[in-house]
Amino acid sequence: MRNVQLLARLWRHVFHCTSQLLLLMVIGLASLGLGAVKPLPIKLVIHNVLGTMPLPFGLERWPGAARFAYDQPQLLLVLVVFTAVVTVGSAAFSAAVVRLTVSLGHKLVYNLSLKLYHKMLRMSPTFYAQHKLGDLLQRITGDVFVVYFVVAYIVVPGIISLMCMTAMGYVMVQLDLLLALIAMSVVPLLVLALALFYKPMDQTTAEHFARQGALSAFVQQSLTGIRTIQSFGRERLMQQQIEQQVAEFGQAFQQAPVVGTTYNPLTALITGLASAALLGAGAYRGRQGHLTAGDLFLFGLRSRALRPL
């Protein structure tokens, strides 16, 4: 509940940049769209250049497309040019997404930092007596970047992935219902894995930032009072304390990757088993005449769109 409230508060800051966020999602969807049509020329090469199958129904209705069914060299040239254009366009859109994400993240971090600093200027002396200055500095200079990660790695990829999964799921159902169900079966399994590991990842990340703030506060306070420390000969005591602080921070820093190294192989195992089942079922459906080699290849590439979750 607490994390939901924090995300809601962060979203209020993101809401002020709605136009940039919408533009970012539109370009991101365009990039994914080009990536989705990139495998189509390979299917046509398998079916219509190397094989003798007729053009798909949708392409036959295009003006002048019928002659490509009997002119394989010309069809191959068109497919090569189409692949090159799609590749260049996809690269351009991907670069635009990166630039817009960085620009939007910088704007959000800048605005949040100013608002946080303005609020701290209005806090009472009691507040500063109860909180360490170094920890507050960490909040202003470091923790505000969480809004950038929320936008760059959660909001935008989440929305784009959801829309992409919906579109890819529809396309796969049109190709073969059984294979579509096998491919989409990874989604609830990945959601279950995320639900199991979410709390440990959240706790280890929170502990990491808490220890980082405590270490920053200790270093700031010790350097501020260095003359007093040297006057009373407390250097050895401070050295022991900083060693303890660093050890606790190092332990917290290592816990998060440990949880991640368990979660990531688990998701890889789930998707790997689904790919094996998809390969076996696809070959079986192909032997029965329900699926062509090009469709199976195209299906395997499109099923990857279901994995970003």
pLDDT in tens, 86-128: 889 888 988 888 888 888 877 877 887 788 888 888 888 888 7
Q: Does the predicted model carry a pTM greater than 0.75?
A: no
Are residues 179 and 295 in contact, defined by beta-carbon separation less than 8 angstroms?
no
Profile the chain (309 residues) by mean pLDDT over runs of 10 residues: 64 72 82 77 77 64 60 80 88 86 80 81 81 71 70 72 73 77 81 79 73 75 77 79 80 70 78 81 80 71 52
Helix 293-303 to helix 156-175 angle (10° resolution) is: 160
In this predicted structure, what is the pLDDT of residue 308?
A: 42
In this predicted structure, what is the pLDDT of residue 134?
A: 65
Closest CA to 284 of 165, 169, 182, 168: 182
Are residues 189 and 272 in contact, defined by beta-carbon separation less than 8 angstroms?
no
End-to-end CA distance of the chain: give it in Å, rounded.
22
Distance CA 80, CA 92 (A): 18
In this predicted structure, what is the pLDDT of residue 300?
A: 66
